[in-house]
Amino acid sequence: MNTGQVMISIAAFAFLGTVLVNFNNLILANNEDMSNSHDVIIATSIAATYIDAAQGLNFDENTVGQPVSTPSQLTDPNALGPDPGEIDISQFNDFDDFNGYSVTQAAEGNNGTFRCDFVVTYVDPENINRPTVQTFLKRLDIKTWRVDIPVTTDTVRMFTTMAYFNFN
């Protein structure tokens, strides 16, 4: 083998090495994106499950078994949250019991541990992004994120509203 062939061989190996390193970086970035997407899907599913649970509850503690006719008869905005003795979601009986609630739970299988934080507020029917005093409309905000990995993952933020209607 002469010097020219050695130089061509070295250049070919250098080119091959560069291609392989770039290819491996591409695969690694793709796997990281897929893992983050997987976490976001799970966080969204968890938040949607809690939204479904909240939508199945009564609007307010004061509307359980009896109608109210004015917003002032509803729970005071400063008193939104679980009633005494309601320490778990299985004991909640109205929408605003989620206010201030936090839960950390492991997802099925080897899918990690997620945390959810909940905030319930009365909102203005004209602008559901503006908290207000008692109205016949409440908003539940949920933040969900993965807590068991050192890498910061995206926080999924979802909300739902619930309105109270009294049909006489």
What is the distance between the alpha carbons of residues 47 and 70, in angstroms, rounded to a whole number? Answer: 31
Does this model's pTM top 0.75? yes
Per-residue pLDDT 10s for the chain (168 aa) are 677 777 777 877 787 777 777 777 676 666 666 667 778 888 899 999 999 999 999 999 888 888 888 888 999 999 998 988 888 888 998 999 999 999 998 887 777 889 999 999 999 999 999 998 899 999 999 999 888 876 666 788 999 999 998 665
| Amino acid in the structure at residue 108 | E
Pick from 101, 103, 97, 61: nearest CA to 81: 97
Find the length of the chain.
168
Helix (H, G, I), strand (E, B) or coil at 140: strand
Q: What is the dihedral of CA 80, 140, 136, 162, to 10 degrees?
A: -130
